[in-house]
Amino acid sequence: MDEHEYRELYHSINSNRCVFEKALLTRRFGCSQVARINIGDREAAGCSNPAAVEVCAELLDQMHNKATFALGMKHVNGPLPHAREMKVQCGGLLGLEAIIYETDSPEGTADIFGLIAKSIREYEEISQLPYSKLMQHIAHYEGRPRRKRD
């Protein structure tokens, strides 16, 4: 299956794409709403709850908008490169977990949507979250090191 066929099949099967798909596919994070999809030898993550997609998308949007300085960018135009997107998703979720549960676990959360729902209960709106603290976690997040090629 070539890349074009994969993309077409991916979009036809995965109508509710999880906005935190990159974080989920690291296996450091889980979600109660995830619908895992296997296409050939690849894995994708969808969402079983359309309302959850909207809530998660709003949080990720806010993190993108606030993370420009933490990412060393002036503004975000379109999709971020993979490494920067990983910093926003993984660093942002780890930061949110540290704020909400007052712990600094490098493991990741077992339920992204549960974490976001608890955040909303505590801060009333996604826009009210302490983004300055979240940005510290995004700035300091480091993905796995590059593999050395022989």
Please state, in angstroms and as integers, the Cα–Cα distance from residue 149 to each residue in 26, 47, 143, 146, following that order: 21, 36, 18, 9
In contact, 131 and 56? CB cutoff 8 Å: no
- Please name the amino acid found at residue 65: N
Q: Is 44 helix (H, G, I), strand (E, B) or coil?
A: strand
When pLDDT is averaged across residues 112-137 and rounded to a whole number, the result is 96
When pLDDT is averaged across residues 95-103 and rounded to a whole number, the result is 91
Element containing residue 93 per DSSP (H, E)? helix 92-101
DSSP lists the bridge partners of residue 39 as 42
For residues 74 and 67, give the distance between their C-alpha atoms in angstroms, rounded to a whole number: 10
For the stretch 68-81, pLDDT in tens is: 888 888 777 788 99
What's the confidence (pLDDT) of residue 150? 66
What's the confidence (pLDDT) of residue 52? 96
For the stretch 33-71, pLDDT in tens is: 999 988 888 888 999 999 999 999 999 999 999 998 888
Q: How confident is the model at residue 118 (pLDDT cuts 50, 70, 90)?
A: very high
For residues 74 and 29, give the distance between their C-alpha atoms in angstroms, rounded to a whole number: 29
Residue boundaries of the structural domains of the chain: 3-140
- Please give the residue that has the higher pLDDT: either 11 or 60: 60
Please state, in angstroms and as integers, the Cα–Cα distance from residue 81 to each residue in 17, 84, 128, following that order: 18, 6, 27
Is residue 117 pLDDT above 80, yes or no? yes
